[in-house]
Amino acid sequence: MLPNLALTWQLSEIHGWGLVGVHTALHLAARGCPPLLLEAPAMDTLRPANRAALHGLEESHRHVMELAASHAGKLLHLEGWDVLHGLGTDFGAGPASERFRGRANIGVVAYEDTRFDSAVLERARRYDKLVVHSTYNHRLLAEQGFANVGLAFQGIDPEEIGPRPPSGRFGDRFVVFSGGKLEFRKAQDVVLTAFRLFQKRHPEALLVTAWHNPWPASAQTIAESPLTRLPPEIGSDGLLRITDWALRYGVPADAFVDLGFLGRDRIAPLLADCHAAVFPNRCEGGTNLVAMEAMGCGVPVVLSANTGHLDLIGPGPDGAPRCWPLTRQTPLFNPGRNRAGWRESSVEELVEALEAIHRDRAEAKARADRALAFIHGERTWSAFAESFVAVCAV
């Protein structure tokens, strides 16, 4: 029997948290046990089919909000409901978690800040159970003495993510894709430096990025990089001037395209036109949704062999590789103990991986095909939702 679950974060299809909520809600609703939403869903961001399947949740949300308004200032206990609390990287909870508690209270978290001081531990211990999305996060919590921790791997939706015929929009260019919000953790500085070297040898190479960061202030952390000391400027429109930043560090203007924010309907068509996707990330608390989408579209992928990426790298049961792992991983200087497991990828190794993909297209396709089978076979949102609901049981 499925539990009655209430979610404290917003459903949407524009970020990872929202997708976790959407696919959990779809799973529960399809089985006659719809969740209770404690934050208003962003229904206008959902694809029509998902919006139609979940529109009924709005009524129960309005009802509980009216109840909360009639008891302003009070902590409300939801009888018969287990509440899933979305937690930040410091295990801090959002406003809905301050208003509602359930029969059981489960903290859901993907974290990269590993500073487990007394305040962080106290916040983490408020929950009957914690659920994470990588073996990296699971191991760190076990090291802190947490025994009741569930693990559920995030995924892709095969209805929107999969191989497509290339459009030819980039002509005969060798297209390298890099995605993820721009910040030190995502290592766009490593991408820029490696691509600059690669492009000098292969003038037909084109770097296509989706580095939009809706929180431009957090992009300033890229200044920590030993490779790019200055972060992108923020334009008068409040957006990062990413192209200007890339050109400042030596990437030719005709070899760089930044696409900004990509809607869900644009991801697979874009990846169909890419020959490689690179993710030399310094840390992933989950397993990297953008990397999984690239793998799920059949693109040859390069992954840093650290943290959450280790759950994607493999190899598979037959021992054959399904990506190009960056194994020359240097620990970061970590005086604050807040970056356990973070690693610096080798620029030279990333260049070597791009050279290998460029040189041997047959091997690139073989690895990409194995990654495609892995993602579509084991890492779908439906598989995630089933395991996630199961591990949330207390």
Taking 80 as the threshold, does the pLDDT of residue 1 lie above it? no
Residue 206 corresponds to which tokens in the numbers above? 């084109």
Distance, in Å, from the CA atom of 235 to the CA atom of 75, rounded to the nearest integer, reads 42
- Name the CATH architecture for the domain at 174-378: 3-Layer(aba) Sandwich (3.40)
Record the pTM: 0.96
Q: Determine the number of helices (DSSP H) and then strands (DSSP E) in the chain.
A: 14, 14
Mean per-residue pLDDT for 342-371?
A: 98
Closest-CA residue to 370 (of 311, 314, 305)? 314
Residue 214 pLDDT: 87
pLDDT in tens, 207-218: 999 999 988 888
pLDDT band, very low/low/confident/very high, at 8 (cuts 50, 70, 90):
very high
pLDDT in tens, 58-92: 999 999 999 999 998 899 999 999 999 999 999 99
With a CB cutoff of 8 Å and minimum separation 6, the contacts of 52 are none
pLDDT in tens, 220-239: 999 999 898 889 999 888 88
pLDDT in tens, 79-125: 999 999 999 999 999 999 999 999 999 999 999 999 999 999 999 99
Residue 238 pLDDT: 85
Mean per-residue pLDDT for 274-284?
A: 98
- Cα–chain-centroid distance for residue 5? 23
Q: Are residues 78 and 101 in contact, defined by beta-carbon separation less than 8 angstroms?
A: yes
Q: Which of the pair, 333 or 246, is modelled with greater confidence?
A: 246
Backbone angles phi, psi at 141, to 5 degrees: -70, -40
Task: Sketch the domain layout of the chain as residue ranges.
Answer: 5-155+381-391, 174-378
Residue 244 corresponds to which tokens in the numbers above? 């200007």
5-155+381-391: CATH class: alpha beta
Taking 90 as the threshold, does the pLDDT of residue 282 lie above it? yes
- Does 5-155+381-391 match 174-378 in CATH topology? yes
Q: Strands (DSSP E) along 255-393, which ranges? A: 256-258, 276-279, 301-304, 324-326, 329-331, 343-345
Mean per-residue pLDDT for 133-142?
A: 98
Closest-CA residue to 271 (of 286, 254, 292, 255)? 292
The percentage of the chain sitting over the pLDDT mark of 70, rounded to a whole number, equals: 100
CA angle centred on 352, ends 368 and 348, rounded to 5°: 130
Closest-CA residue to 86 (of 143, 127, 50)? 127
